[in-house]
Chains A and B, each alone.
Chain A
Amino acid sequence: MTRAPGELIKRLLVSDETAYVELVNTYGEKLLHLAYMVVGDRQLAEDVVQESFLALYAKLQNFRGESSLSTWLTRITLNKAKNKIRPKLFQKIAYFWEINATDTAPLPQDNYEKQEKQSIVREIMLSLPIKYRDVLYLHYFEELKIKEIAEILDVSQSGVKTRLQRGRNQMKDLLKERGLD
């Protein structure tokens, strides 16, 4: 049974156990996809989702409901994911000393093609600038309206439209480059 999001908040506020299960079932995978789309790594994406849920639990009492729970969670996850990939001083030093340990064992043939396809898809995704990637993701994968995307990203609706158009054009070029158009 699907209930109104406002009601879910009320149940969360009174520590209803089923409300927490419903919250994770409704938003968990969605947020994991979003975080993965930004950071491009499963483990990092899980860290981002955990941090987002922790932030929600900590600030639940002060949640005013000015934006919907979905919008609020999406915005928080997106910001945390972007922070994760922002280069930091210590990370730069770590990269400098990093030893590239790659697995040189041959892959089984049946997995090889799948892995190859996956890596091409991921490469295309990650080569798109983040400001276009998040707009395209929210529009095409989450199927959100321009107004909702604008609210999540805190930009004007015309700004979203511009990014969407530029992102589409860049994606078109990337697909053409790889013969996937």
Chain B
Amino acid sequence: MSNRGIKDDLNLDENIKDLFQKNMTDIKLDNFFKEKLIAMKNDVKPVSPVRAFLEKEICIPVASVSAAAGVMIIVAGFLINSLLLPGEIPQPKYQIIEMMQISEAQLNVKD
């Protein structure tokens, strides 16, 4: 690479650095925000061992596990409902007619 090329490259590096510096000039961490960040430690609830295991070892976010569990409970509810609590079984019509005929016959006998 020529001397001019190297100089251009160095200039570009300086320009990029300078650009980032300028972009961050006004971005400072004020004391109020610092205190807020420190105080946030009190808002955090400790992670349960089960959750830690699921998130760290198996890489499953717990939020998705609870959502999946909710869906599974609903589906299981529908299945159990259809298996254990069947609706009223319709009576065959001929059986009703037969019963009516029997009762009519009994009335006739009494008469």
Contacts and interface: CB of A to CB of B under 8 A. Distances in A.
A140 B13 contact: yes
Range for the number of chain A residues in contact with chain B: 35 or more
Given A25-B34, A140-B16, A32 B41 contact: no
B40 A140 contact: no
Contacts, number: 90
B15 A180 contact: yes
A171 B92 CA distance: 83
Interface stretch (B18-26, B80-88, B95-103): B18-26
A140 B17 contact: yes
Interface in B1-43: 11-13, 15-17, 19-29, 33-34, 36-38, 40-41, 43
Given A59-B47, A172-B12, A121 B37 contact: no
A122 B21 CA distance: 11
A34 to B, nearest CB: 10
Size bin of chain B's contact surface: 20 to 34
A20 B33 contact: no
Nearest to B52: A62
A69 to B, nearest CB: 15
Given A29-B28, A37-B23, A141-B24, A181 B44 contact: no
Interface of A: 15, 20-21, 24-25, 28-29, 32-33, 36-37, 42, 45-46, 49-50, 53-54, 57-59, 61-62, 117-118, 121-122, 124-125, 136-137, 140-141, 168, 171-172, 175, 180-181
10 contacts: A24-B29, A24-B38, A25-B34, A50-B40, A53-B37, A58-B45, A62-B52, A136-B20, A171-B12, A171-B16
